[in-house]
């Protein structure tokens, strides 16, 4: 099975330092939805792995998070794409849970759910936490320069093997061409 893991905020949709708190605030980055559809059509199962500490901070509740994701699913369907599974961590940093990236818990749950080894599975993200989580499970860290990615690209000590692209669209072109 071909699998690709993608972070949400800053990769699929525009991010905000104030969090994406409502469905109205969720806006896709140009060509991101089409890129996911291309992955689907190339035979990839697409999984979203996202930290959503806004839930733990009380900024929005689970029904709002579900409504945001419903908007994403509907938008994807209009371009022939889909998300096969969505994993999220609702906790804040201070909770020290195992599922919050950069810890590998969420990705290990994905591996278990899909019964796959994550070695060399592409993980596309815009933050150092995404790349570190990918590295922790042997996945292929891919940095996009949307969202926090431009700033992340300047960090010294990115995980070994990290490859960088302008956006999700360019990253997907590379993945499909491999």
pLDDT digits (tens, 9 = 90+) for 102-161: 999 999 999 999 999 999 999 999 999 999 999 999 999 999 999 999 999 999 999 999
- For the chain, which domains are there? 2-177 (3.40.50.1000)
Bridge partners for 140 per DSSP: 122
- Strands across the sheet with 44-51, in order? 85-89, 44-51, 2-6, 122-125, 140-144, 163-165
List active site positions.
7, 9
Residue 12 and residue 72 in contact, taking contact as beta carbons nearer than 8 Å: yes
Please state, rounded to an integer, the average pLDDT across all residues of the chain. 97
Cα 77 from Cα 37, distance rounded (Å):
9
pLDDT for the residue 9: 98
Report pLDDT for 178: 85
State pTM to two decimals.
0.97
């Amino acid at each position: 099975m071909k699998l690709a893991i993608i972070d949400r905020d800053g990769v699929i949709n525009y991010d905000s330092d104030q969090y994406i708190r409502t469905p109205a605030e969720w806006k896709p980055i140009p060509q991101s939805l089409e890129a996911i559809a291309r992955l689907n059509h190339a035979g990839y199962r697409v999984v979203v792995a996202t930290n959503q500490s806004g839930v733990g901070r009380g900024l929005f509740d689970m029904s709002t998070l579900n409504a945001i994701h419903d908007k994403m699913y509907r938008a994807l369907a209009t371009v022939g794409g889909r998300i096969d599974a969505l994993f999220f961590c609702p906790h804040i940093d201070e909770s020290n849970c195992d599922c919050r990236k950069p810890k590998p818990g969420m990705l290990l749950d994905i591996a278990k759910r899909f019964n796959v080894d994550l070695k060399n599975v592409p993980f596309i993200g815009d933050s150092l936490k995404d790349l570190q989580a990918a590295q922790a499970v042997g996945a292929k860290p891919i940095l996009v320069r949307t969202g926090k990615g431009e700033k992340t690209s300047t960090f010294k000590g990115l995980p070994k093997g990290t490859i960088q692209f302008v956006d999700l669209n360019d990253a997907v072109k590379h993945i499909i061409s491999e």
